[in-house]
Amino acid sequence: SARVINLNNINTTLLEVIALSGGIANEGRSNSIKLMRKKANGKREIYKIDLSKIQGLKQAEMIVQSNDYIYVDYKPRYASAILQEVGPWLSLVTTTLAIIVIFR
């Protein structure tokens, strides 16, 4: 979810900002994080960080500046979403069938 984090400390690292925002959600990709920073010429520079590797953890020690955007890519979980929706109905059907079999 999108959040604005107020940085009280001027030396806050990317890892600290991610922790302050609640961490990487289950649907987030720790191997695909982008930090977008506005340069003096007005253009944005994009840093791609992979927290699943040691080198990415070293990159994540970079200091976050004001007006930086941090984007964690989304990883859809179709199977768990479908099972979450169908699970209660499937449980009801199997319980009903079990009761019918027991009392016959």
Q: Helix or strand or coil: residue 91?
A: helix
CA atoms of 1 and 83, how far apart (whole Å): 23
Selection from 73, 38, 82 nearest residue 52 by Cα: 73
Per residue in 60-103, pLDDT tens?
889 998 888 999 988 877 888 888 899 999 999 999 999 999 99
- Amino acid, res. 104: R
| 18-73 pLDDT per residue, tens | 888 888 888 888 888 999 998 888 899 999 999 888 888 888 889 998 888 999 98
Question: What are the helix (H) ranges across the chain?
Answer: 14-20, 54-59, 78-102
The 3-state DSSP class for residue 12 equals coil
Phi, psi of 66 (to 5 degrees): -65, 145
